[in-house]
Amino acid sequence: MSVAAEREIVRADPAMRRTALVLGGGVVAAVDALRRSLSTWREGRFPPHGMRVLRDTPVIEGPVARTIGVLGCTLGATLLVAALLLGWTSYRIGAVLWYGCPRATRPA
């Protein structure tokens, strides 16, 4: 007797896909911003050597460029933290909606 065992399949969650795309996009943008800002800060020049730009950009050098680099690092780190918190918060909201609030009192 041959019984074909069917494998269990868990269907993909479209909301989780959207969350992953947003989270992934935020992390990639944050890491790219941090990388470029660190290059600007180290070189003391904006845009740093080898950086591709969308249009003709005048070069800024010296303390002003280093300030731009520090501000860019701050904004990039903030974006990275926000992207990671967005993913965690989305997961927690989904868990509460799926399983219910763990602190809710049961009706008498």
> Which tens digits make up the pLDDT trace of 59-80?
999 999 999 999 999 999 998 8
3-class secondary structure for the chain? CCCCCCCCCCCCCHHHHHHHHHHHHHHHHHHHHHHHHHHHHHHCEECCCCCCCCCCCCCEECHHHHHHHHHHHHHHHHHHHHHHHHHHHHHHHHHHHHHCCCCCCCCC
Note the pLDDT tens digit of each residue in 21-53.
Answer: 877 888 888 888 899 999 999 999 999 998 888
**Predicted local distance difference test score (pLDDT) of residue 93:** 83
